């Protein structure tokens, strides 16, 4: 598959997921920096690419797409044998289930509820007990589904690429770090994932310029 274009931001979880898929599938891509929270700086016509005003968006040979899973499946089907989608029906269903758990529960609660809620600037502060409870539940469910050494078992899949960026940010919040330590299998899985070249190549700005706080 020849080079594709991805519109997104290095700070964005879903942009990173799309980049992880491209890295793991060994597809070359150009990242057009698109800061969705600074509407005045968007590339010209960006809202035609993504009418719902989110990132990432994608283009390959004039074919435009948005929604990270659609991008991932398009890339994988073009590449042929990426190894990122399991062979069996139950494993594929489990993978999709984990992807949707990440989209619908992990991302809103662990990233927006805990990470942004606790560390995201002026509005940040102590978390509501309900948020902490929800975060605990998300981790507990994910650990139940974790087969090891990867989420689905022996091989890396889209499920791993969906969850890892969420947990990387979550771990920067003190509450996130404390909660994750209650789930040692997920914690060691995350450490292994973070050592992969794809994760190294797509680090968040925060990972490249850690503050003293992050080492705690």
Which residues in 101-171 belong to E strands, given as ranges? none
> Count residues contacting ligand GSH (CB under 6 A)?
9
- Least Å distance, CB 54 to ligand GSH, is 3
Residue 55 within binding range of ligand GSH, rule CB under 6 A = yes
Distance of CA 14 to the CA centre of its chain: 5
Least distance (Å) between residue 15 CB and ligand GSH: 6
Interface with ligand GSH, residue 167, by CB under 6 A: no
Residue of minimal CB distance from ligand GSH?
54
Contact characters 5-44, ligand GSH, x per CB under 6 A: -------xxx---------------------x--------
**Site residues (CB under 6 A) for ligand GSH, limited to 59-88:** 67-68
Site membership for ligand GSH, residue 175 (CB under 6 A): no
- Provide, rounded to whole angstroms, the least separation between the CB of residue 16 and ligand GSH: 8
Smallest distance, ligand GSH to C-beta of residue 165, A = 9
Structure tokens at 142: 């994910």
User: What is the radius of gyration, based on Cα positions, of the chain?
Assistant: 17
Identify whether the C-beta of residue 106 lies closer than 8 Å to the C-beta of residue 166.
yes
Site stretch for ligand GSH (CB under 6 A), options 51-59, 118-126, 140-148, 153-161: 51-59
User: Who's near 103: CB < 8 A, 6+ residues apart?
Assistant: 162
CB of 9 to ligand GSH, least distance (A): 7
Considering only 5, 31, 35, 54, the residue that binds ligand GSH (CB under 6 A) is 54
Contacts of 4 (CB under 8 A, 6+ apart): 22, 27, 28, 29, 30, 58, 59, 60, 75
- Comparison of 173 and 183: residue with beta carbon closer to ligand GSH: 173
Angle between helices 158-170 and 13-24 (to 10 degrees): 140
- Nearer of residues 14 and 183 to ligand GSH, judged by Cβ: 14
Angstrom distance (rounded) from CA 81 to CA 26: 11
d(C-alpha 13, C-alpha 16), whole Å: 5
CB of 215 vs ligand GSH, minimal distance in Å:
25
CA angle 134, 137, 142 (to 5 degrees): 130
Judge whether 164 and 194 are in contact, CB under 8 Å.
yes
List interacting residues with ligand GSH (CB under 6 A): 12-14, 36, 53-55, 67-68
């Amino acid at each position: 598959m020849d080079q594709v274009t991805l519109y997104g931001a290095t700070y964005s979880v879903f942009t990173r997921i799309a980049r992880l898929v491209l890295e793991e599938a060994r597809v070359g891509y150009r990242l057009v920096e698109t800061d969705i929270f600074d509407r005045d700086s968007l590339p010209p016509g960006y809202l035609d690419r993504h009418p719902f005003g989110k990132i990432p968006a994608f283009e390959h040979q004039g074919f435009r797409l948005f929604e990270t899973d659609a991008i991932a499946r398009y890339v994988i089907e073009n590449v042929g044998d990426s190894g990122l989608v399991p062979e069996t029906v139950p494993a594929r269903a489990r993978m999709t289930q984990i992807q949707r758990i990440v989209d619908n529960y992990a991302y809103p609660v662990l990233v927006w509820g805990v990470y942004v809620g606790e560390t995201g600037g002026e509005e940040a502060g102590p978390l509501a007990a309900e948020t902490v409870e929800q975060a605990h539940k998300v981790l507990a469910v994910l650990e139940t589904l974790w087969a090891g050494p990867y989420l689905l078992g022996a091989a890396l899949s889209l499920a791993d690429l969906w969850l890892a960026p969420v947990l990387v940010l979550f771990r920067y919040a003190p509450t996130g770090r404390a909660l994750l330590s209650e789930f040692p299998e997920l914690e060691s899985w995350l450490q292994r994932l973070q050592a992969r070249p794809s994760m190294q190549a797509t680090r968040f700005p925060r990972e490249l310029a850690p503050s003293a706080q992050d080492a705690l």
